[in-house]
Amino acid sequence: MHDLIEAVLAFVRLHDVYAAPLVFLLAFGESLALVSLLLPATVLLVGVGALIGASGIAFWPIYFGAAIGAALGDWLSYWLGRHYHEQIARTWPLSRHPDLMPRGHAFFAKWGWSGIFIGRFFGPLRAIVPLVAGACEMPRAPFQVANWTSAFVWAGLILGPGAFGLTTLKDYFPF
């Protein structure tokens, strides 16, 4: 895992023109149901944020790549849940916990869009909340509003500390 992280960050360092598309793919995978369990994207995205601050790579294209990738990953997870809700309820891990779907319905009835928004910021929930929201047939408009707004906030929070923190430190402490 460590070798993969180092290889990706070295690639971004050497080929910064591909940073935004790569970050788009990482954020998309990080937000896509079940794929996020296999992909160490959070660590990579924080590392890319640090590369931005340390090397002066342009922040905004990478920020938009992360936000759009995350929102589209959640949108696809929601769509899968909405169209395959019966099959999803019968597959692992939901099949082992039949009470989760009724609890998901109750959760979205109580919290609505704010549940989607907050779910973005908790790693294990990030990819499963949209899938369950779709399977519970949460209305599309509130889901998309929460999805897109949380994706843009999340992208800033995941990339910003490295990007702007290191830039500020470099002004005071030349490396």
Taking only the tens place, the pLDDT of each residue in 60-105 is: 999 999 999 999 999 999 999 999 887 877 777 677 877 777 777 7
Taking only the tens place, the pLDDT of each residue in 145-169 is: 999 999 999 999 999 888 887 655 5
Taking only the tens place, the pLDDT of each residue in 109-156 is: 788 889 899 888 887 777 788 988 998 888 999 999 999 999 999 999
Residues 163, 49 contacting (CB under 8 angstroms): yes
Taking only the tens place, the pLDDT of each residue in 20-73 is: 999 999 999 999 987 777 777 888 888 888 888 888 788 999 999 999 999 999
Q: Calculate the average pLDDT of the chain.
A: 84
Residues 158, 59 contacting (CB under 8 angstroms): no
* Burial track 82-116 (b if 16+ CB lie within 10 A, e otherwise): beebeebbeeeebeeeeebbeebeebbeeebbebb
1 pLDDT more than 80: no
Give the SS3 label for residue 9: helix
Q: Could you tell me the pTM of the whole model? A: 0.85
For residue 172, the model assigns a pLDDT of 55
